[in-house]
Structure 1
Amino acid sequence: MLVAPDKTKLYPNENIRTVCYIKNLPRKLNVEIGDYTYYSDNKNSPENFYERIQHHYEFLEDKLIIGKFCAIAEGVTFIMNGANHRMDGVTTYPFNIFGGGWEKVAPAVEQLPFKGDTVIGNDVWIGQNVTIMPGVKVGDGAIIAANTTITKNVEPYAIVGGNPAGLIKKRFSDEMIELLLKLQWWNWDEQEIFDKLEILVSTNDIVTIRKLLENEK
């Protein structure tokens, strides 16, 4: 009996070619994707996901890290550190990239603003046309509303929206969030996820989650 779709396939459902598991695209340096995380694109092929990662230059060594079981809608854009301009002078204009003698003011890497890695947690839902700025950390279980611009970290199980993003509400109570972060269901094996699918998709009862945690010990 099958207990999960084949996580090694590019298209988990051959009848839905607008959705692909990103991890199964050709590997890209400094991009790490978790199992079952998908990109959906109804306008273009989802295989073009890497085009959504912009200004990502190898010499800067910043990473885009996305966890397991994330749902990423079309039009999302990840802006990486290569988009940053030097800001400590009179002008931010990047003279050096155009050559013609201007390359004499090419900045050293350490002179450029660097925000670090961009990290998306597990079980994160990112809506259409979201923009995520460099160095942002998005916590497990968060939801990002369509057309949102993320400029700062998002707490686990928060729902955020707007430009710039603001907190709309928390998905659960603080106690429930603490339990879910301990549960880490996304690290279960396929059989355990299959056996508890009904709980995962329809339960927000804190007593049930507490019992699950106790059984995991």
Structure 2
Amino acid sequence: MAPTETLTAERILATTEDVLRRHGAAKATVVDVARALGVSHAAVYRHFRTKAALREAVTERWLDRTTAALRRVVDDRSLPADERLRRWLTTLFAAKREKAGADPELFATYEVLLGENSGVVERHVADLVGHLRLILEEGVSRGELALPVADAGLAARAVFDATGRFHDPGYAREWSAPGIDEAFTAVVELTLAALRP
């Protein structure tokens, strides 16, 4: 990119993703990002006050891509609630597995942020649990689902936790293991069985 281009937060984030992919989370620096952009590191710091803020913004941008795909499933009210839930869980597992396999350096950054108890990760999880809550509430209101607990938020979190093996980065090494797809299907079907009226 030519240094005469306007330096925007979006341009910095896209370049930071590239730098993270090349150098990894542990070695990538703001100076590396600035060098790739053809600007001083001070110019980058005008948009992102710290390296941690930049890393969080990159992670948020990366996670938002998954959230957007999941939101489309939530919004597809042409499907019955159980099928929306199945599709949502399948989409989440596929997205996390793809990120772990195809984008390991950014996935490693996400794992670092998990260890730091980042607000970005907390917001991402809250968004995902919120999606589940919407599907469950609409399923109950349409008579398609019945919750085993009175609180839809608690039920949504229980579904999220029950399927954690298929989206929690701590299990990423298992996502390419033999039998993982069958294990995923079994957990999803058991979850759906518990939610049927």
TM-score range, shorter chain: under 0.3
Higher relative contact order (CA 8 A, sep 6+): 2
More helix by share: 2
- Give the structure-1-normalised TM-score: 0.25
Query: Going by fraction, where is strand more abundant, 1 or 2?
Result: 1
